Structure 1
Amino acid sequence: MAVYGTGALDMYNTKKEKVLFSITEKNDQGRSFYEVDNGLPITQQEQLHHYLREADKDTICVPSTRSMRIVTDPFNYTHEDQVLPIQPEQLFFMDYTSKKDLENTDVLDIGLGSGVLSIFSLLNGAASCVGLDINSRAKMLAGYNAVINNIDKNFHIKDGDAADIFRSVDGKKFGFICSNPPFEPTPPGIDYYVNSAAGIYGLDFVDDILANVDRHLLDDGLLQLVTMAPGNAKKPFKLYESIEKYLPGCSVEIVLDLQPILYADFVDRFKNIFGHDDELINHMKKTASDDGVTHLHMLILKYKKGRHGRITEINAQKVYETWSTPLGV
């Protein structure tokens, strides 16, 4: 594994609690899907080593194409550089990724976070993976997770750049580009998690990816995003406006999760949980109302370079994001 820039493989630079997730592929009546088996709190480095040794004794937990182990920050780590724990959207991504799209291809993961999508790709046949992130803590944990899943040989971690997302891979093309980008509608001007803040509609990073992705995809290469997007109760029409702007006349498949959340409910948590000013949040809600935005949809976006057509929708086979808490814990 090569690590470039400020990220480094160093689990000893902090005593903060972490969480060790075990993720396993399951099968039910011929349909495969991924689940989190458990999330174990880790308070000391020695405790993490103990859990990993015990897991290696259980063949179900040994890293393979069917399982992986991922270390993240816990939800109660509230600093801006939080490395997000495993969330429903990452399982959504795995369930709707074709192994054929990964086979022997070079992958780019934009906003790698814990590295879970990169590791999933490499465990399922990718030839190599480059992961980009602006967060040094994310690069540290992603590198550690690559090592404990035995895929570090073909994994390269580079500095991300919020102002120029593809800067670190300028001139390079990939067969598969994936991202679970920051997607939370966020009040302007506040300090917030770098893994989440994405403008009033949560589309800032998605728009940048769509605007520039063709320069970095091979012919017939695939872009696959898992994100949240604003719209009405039926569809994320603000995302469709972006697709029509940046990928006009192209075939794009959308897989919609089954349970959207009200935009107003989602942004109200900036008042109720984080204590931000009522006026700021009310301005966001008024802007959304004026634009006809009432809901936020969790979804998968798939775009193959060079394929002409239109936007098509299918529904997921189950509910992924239940919104049981504001962050879907």
Structure 2
Amino acid sequence: MTDYRGRFAPTPSGPLHFGSLVAALASFLDARRAGGEWLLRIEDIDPPRCPPGAAETIIAQLEAFGLHWDGPVLWQQGREAHYALALERLEGLELAYPCSCSRRQWRQYPVYPGWCRSGVREPDKPVAWRLRSDLGRRPVIWQDRLFGEQCFDPAALGDVVLKRKDGLWAYQLAVVVDDADQGITDVVRGADLLDNTPWQRQLQQALDLPEPRYLHLPLIMDVNDQKLSKQNLAAPLPLADARVRPLLHRALLALDQAPSPALAAAPVSEQLDQAIADWDVGRIQPERKRIAMEGDTDSMR
């Protein structure tokens, strides 16, 4: 084993789809090719979005595709005390502040204009907690393993919410705390999260936490150029082995790994063993992948 530690961290708002499979597969292969660990985290901090049984379905889907993780699953629910400590520290550093503003109030602005930075405008209303994106390291620069050097000014992205008005913890803070607590060294995920990375690196720096390496993957689009997502009703991954095998092969094609056609119907263990041996990030092309999912098992362009 090396010191590499990766993870897959789905939100259980519904079953995994083909785009999810590509992200999970890439993170799995990257970890296994490095001789490292691959962890599973269920990001269930937003119960209203997480229907009963969705997490269990995700776990069954990963197992059906042979994507077996190391150690126990980490569930975000129950980790509120860890997030509260991080927020308390940020508040002490004057990097987090309460905000009573609603999106309706600042809808004419491209990002939240920071009206509550110097004090809550409407103290009688519920408050969210926001990050002072105008403080700390600016700009945020890092080297993405696929897209190369990235440079963002977090202040141009706005003061992201860390804790919502309804008391639920927001993604940005939870993911940073959890990645640090799990010792994550490498994050492999879709390019739709590329512009989340500046906030996360700002938080890592402010909280004196390690900064993982990042590999953002090209997005998987349908034939109408819509990102495959649960919101767009992307078809869930199957559990039946006869359907899993060709779909795993297709996910390797989406990652530009050029798997042998002879393995398209092979057991998932054989496909994965070969894919681990052949895994090469340098093959991945950064362009979005447009695929046809319905009634077409071969088309990808």
- Considering only CA atoms, is the larger Rg found in Structure 1 or Structure 2? 2
TM-score calculated relative to the size of structure 1: 0.28
Q: Pick the structure with more strand per residue.
A: 1
TM-score calculated relative to the size of structure 2: 0.30
**Higher relative contact order (Cα pairs below 8 Å, separated by 6+ residues):** 2
